[in-house]
Every structure is written in C-alpha cells, then in structure tokens.
Structure 1
Amino acid sequence: MKCVVAISFATLFSQCSTGNTCDTTFEENFSQGVSGWVTGLSDYTDANKPTDAAWAFDTLPSPGSGSAYHLSLTNRSQDAMIWTKKLFTGLEPGVTYSFEVDVGVFTNASTGCADSSGATGADTHLMMLADTTEPSTTQLSDGTWRLNSDTLSGTTLTRTITDLGSISVGSGDCAHLTYAAKQVSGSLQHDVVAPSDGNVWVLMGVDAKYSGKIDVFFQTMKVSAKAQS
C-alpha cells in the first residue's frame, strides 16, 4: 500500500503509519520568500574564487513581475557553481527513495552571448542533489573546492549531483539579453535510503562553463520523492 503526502514548509507532517511506505512531495514557491535556504559556492580554486557571488530575495526584472530567489555571480573560474540547500522532512525511515524534480527559473542566459573561449549562456546548467549528508564545500587534493559528495581519484572526478541541462532561454547577443521563464525537470541519478529522522537535504545550483555574469531567479521548486518497492 502506498500513500501520498504533500509537505508544506510551514508545518511538519506526520510520518506514515508503521508498515506503509509513502511518496512525498517537497514544494517551494519562492515568490513567498526563501526561509530556511542556505547558500554556498563550489567548483573553484583559491585563485579564481568568484568575488561578487550574491543570493537575495529580489524583484524580477522586466518582463517578469513579483519576486523570486536571485542567485548571481561572475564566473571567473569558468566552472563555478553557485548553490542553495535546505533540509526537508517527511521520508519514511529505512525506505529507499528516488526523486523526480521540476524547477521554474527566470533568467537571461542566451545561446548568442559567448565569452572568449566560445562558451555561451547555453553552458549554464541547473544542478540538483538529494542527500542525507548535509552538502558543504571542501578542498580536494588538486586544490579545487568541491561539494563534499564529489570524490577525486587521480584526475578522475566523480559527482553524485545531477545535471538537469541548460537553462538558456534566448539567442540574443551579449548586448541584447532578454529575461524569460523556463521550466526544467528530470530525475536525480542517485536514490536515497531515508535515515531514522526522515530528513533529506535538497541542493539546487547553477553550474557554468560560461565566464560572464550569471543571473538566475528561482521561482518554483518541486521534488517528488518516490518510495521504491
């Protein structure tokens, strides 16, 4: 038997009754604020760490209306990831979950705006992770600062975070960028066994090879945790 539980972030829901598993949904409407979200950076070295990274609850630029969660930086490393994380509850302890995600963003990332290496706004990707271990940034043996879920063996970097694809919304050149909304969805590549407290960390970030200014407004987020039989 499966039950379906929707989680509101204003309250904590009861766990499923003993012997049952539950599908669980985490939802966020960032027009209402960003309470509980904690931010960070990764994928840089001490020499090229972004110096202007910012996270704020901001008014959407034209042609948008309302407010959203604004993440921005100038990507000096051509690899930096700016991210935000939050702890959610409601999983059934001991149950293995897979995750489907759907995120609404508002951005001006463009396929027609290129840097000196040829990378464009199309090389700006949405990244997401669900993990029972709190995500943080640690320095690996090659000197790069990476998520603590990343591992390095020689020169081989292994990542558990999922790349959900490009968030680019237009084709204008760098002098003619236009903001637009985009919905990005997909499946996370790793399942999670829920711990005894039923908690899971959800991280979402923007990872880019493009070296210019990155501005992304997160509008909505939905993570559907599917209990595996």
Structure 2
Amino acid sequence: MASTVTIDFNTGIDEWRSDVADYGDKDRPTEVASGWRDLPAPLSGKGYYLAAHNNSDDVLTYVTRQLHGFVKNAQYNVSFELRYATDAGTGCAGVGGSRGDSVYMVAAANYFNINTVQQPDLRYRVNLDRGNQGTSGTQGKVLGTQGVAGLGCAGGTWASTTRKSSEPIVVRADKDGNFWIMLGADSGFEGTNAVYLQGATVNITPY
C-alpha cells in the first residue's frame, strides 16, 4: 500500500539528528551549527537550521531519522519533495562555485542507521552510496541546486522554495518494518552556507 509521510519542521525536530560529512582530519568544517530556529524575515515560522564553513571543497550538512510502520523486510520506492529557505541567488560568483549553483539539495533512504563514518582513505563520509554533490547514488538523490532565481548575489533576502526527486530510491525495510531517511545540503562552495529545512513530503510505494 502506498503511503505519504509529511515532515513539518515548523512543529519541531524531535527524533531527528544532525551531522556533517565529506571531510578529513585536516580540513574539518568550521562554523558548524544546527537547531530549531525562527525563520528569517520576511518568512514566518520555524525550521531546522543547518550551517557550516566548507574547508575541504566538499561538505555535507544533513539531518536523519528513522521511519516506522512498514512491512518487515519489504522493498519500497521512496521519493522526496523538500521545502527549505535560502538567501542564495543563481548565476553568482563564488570560491569553488557559488552558493546558489554549487550547493546541492539532497535526500537519501537506507536500511540501516545513517551516520558519518571514517572511511579507509581516512575521509569522513556517510555510510551509504548517496553519490556526491551533483551526482546521485543508489541510496541518495540530488534534488536540485540550492539557489533561487531573482535573489541577489549578496544574500540577506530569504525565500522559501522546493526541490523534488526525479527518480525514486529503492530501500528495504528492516526486520521491524523500519528504515532511515536523510535530508541535507552538499556544498562545493568554499565558504559558509546556511539553510533552513522547512519540511518534506516523502512518497513511499511498494517496489
């Protein structure tokens, strides 16, 4: 049976956990911050704030939680529509790329707990094949770039927008009928990026 999970960060962030990934010991991101915060004017309500300064030419900021209530060991197609607030315009310049065009909004789904883990090459990455920046993987998909056309390159003017999956992720529920999802922003911009996740619609259908 198909189902839809509606996530609204205006009402809280209970059961969610935030983290960062895609870095090494010598280029860990700085200015890392996350939490439930008021949206900046002219927007109203609250969102899940994520921020980090990219020191490695590649940093992922993300939130994750477990979803419950599915058929044990069954496979599902999972697709996402993510709503977020940004002050990044498009077509702007930036070191390593611009905030609007080189920060990618991403989503993922996986059988087991999504965590940042040190890999054999000593880099810290999430423990699933999510792809990287503008390239999707088997368990993670790029929803689009962060920027909103019409916003200025200097930032400071905030707008709410959405990005959605172009193809589903196939995920298997565990023995208890659960699986994990991830929402985030993968930055190639070599500076500080901040985004407010406002919510998401997760569409789940039997595989």
Q: TM-score, normalised by structure 1?
A: 0.81
Residue of structure 2 in register with 1:196 after alignment: 175
Greater Cα radius of gyration, structure 1 or 2: 1
Residue of structure 2 in register with 1:64 after alignment: 43
Counterpart CA distance in 2 for 1:51 and 1:202 is 25
Q: Secondary structure at the match of 2:101?
A: helix
Once the two structures are TM-superposed, the CA of residue 162 in structure 1 deviates from its matched residue by 1.3
Counterpart CA distance in 1 for 2:64 and 2:112 is 12
Counterpart CA distance in 2 for 1:198 and 1:159 is 21
Aligned residues: 203
Counterpart CA distance in 2 for 1:164 and 1:224 is 14
Counterpart CA distance in 2 for 1:196 and 1:53 is 35
Residue of structure 1 in register with 2:105 after alignment: 126
Once the two structures are TM-superposed, the CA of residue 174 in structure 1 deviates from its matched residue by 4.4
Counterpart CA distance in 2 for 1:171 and 1:77 is 29
Q: Secondary structure at the match of 1:121?
A: coil
Contact 1:89 1:200 in 2 (8 A): yes
Residue of structure 1 in register with 2:159 after alignment: 180
- Equivalent residues in 2 for 1:87-106 (5 A)? 87-106=66-85
User: Moved runs in structure 1, 4+ residues, more than 6 A?
Assistant: none
Residue of structure 1 in register with 2:201 after alignment: 222
Residue of structure 1 in register with 2:23 after alignment: 44
Q: 2:102 aligned with 1:115, yes or no?
A: no
Structure 2 CA distance for partners of 1:199 and 1:117, relative to 1, 3 Å: closer
Q: 2:147 aligned with 1:168, yes or no?
A: yes
Once the two structures are TM-superposed, the CA of residue 75 in structure 1 deviates from its matched residue by 1.4
- Which has the higher relative contact order, 1 or 2, with Cα contacts under 8 A spaced 6 or more apart? 2
Counterpart CA distance in 1 for 2:97 and 2:106 is 22
What fraction of aligned residue pairs are identical, expressed as a percent? 28
Unaligned runs of 5+ in 2: 131-136
